[in-house]
Amino acid sequence: MKTRRIHRAAATPSVHRIVEDIIGCKWSLAVLAQVRAGVLRPGALEQAIPGISAKVLNERLKKLTRYGILERTSYAEIPPRVEYRLSAFGAQLGAILDQITALELQRTRQ
Amino acid sequence: MKTRRIHRAAATPSVHRIVEDIIGCKWSLAVLAQVRAGVLRPGALEQAIPGISAKVLNERLKKLTRYGILERTSYAEIPPRVEYRLSAFGAQLGAILDQITALELQRTRQ
């Protein structure tokens, strides 16, 4: 039974501020890339991102959820199960980040 | 007679680094918006951007040129004339910044 979904706090920073923060943070980008690729649980995320600690992963998941990029769903099971999914806003932001990466590739080829 | 065009230094930062820098800087965004709107000369830019000093304007023009976003052309005239134009890369980056602004507007309406 799906029980709780944490929504983003009212005082979410501006999208400009979010991009400024995310684009310069390799761990945020790595977590976002993995969730976009379908890796939804913290344990699996920690396995999928070489070098990330549980502490840093947890901080980034909290931040991405607070920004409204990810949605957290916890299931009242034994043991409790938590999953993170991309929100609609997260999907739009991801598409913009993809364009920045594409522009990067294009520029390095010039 | 168009004489000189300053190209960006070889060691240009990554696009991610450029976006991280530009997106959080109101003066860079303001200068970029005005050049995109066709205001090409430093004097006119200073007039068009309320509150910007000549010093800050000059710093931002140098940075945006170093990043390869703007191209500087100087004309050997009396008095010397200098103009800044958006490069192809600058146009692509501008389009991405527009999407971030659109996402911002969309989010504030929700």
pLDDT per residue as tens, chain B (110 positions): 555 455 444 568 999 999 999 999 999 999 999 999 999 999 999 999 999 999 999 999 999 999 999 999 999 988 889 999 999 999 999 999 999 999 999 988 87
Query: How many Cβ atoms are within 10 Å of B23's Cβ, its own excluded?
Result: 22
Chain A positions touching B12 (Cβ under 8 A) are 107
Q: What is the pLDDT at residue B4?
A: 47
To the nearest whole Å, the CA of B78 is away from the closest chain A CA by 36
Q: Residue B100 and residue A99: Cβ atoms within 8 Å?
A: no
Does the CB of A26 have a partner CB in chain B at under 8 Å? no
B81 half-sphere exposure, CB direction, 13 A CA radius: 9
pLDDT tens per residue across span A6-63: 554 456 899 999 999 999 999 999 999 999 999 999 999 999 999 999 999 999 999 9
Q: What residue ranges define each of the domains in chain A, with the CATH number in brackets? A: 2-109 (1.10.10.10)
pLDDT tier for residue A1 given thresholds of 50, 70 and 90 = low
pLDDT tier for residue A3 given thresholds of 50, 70 and 90 = low
Sign of the alpha-carbon dihedral angle for B35, B65, A22, A31: positive
| For B26, nearest residue in chain A (alpha carbons) | A16
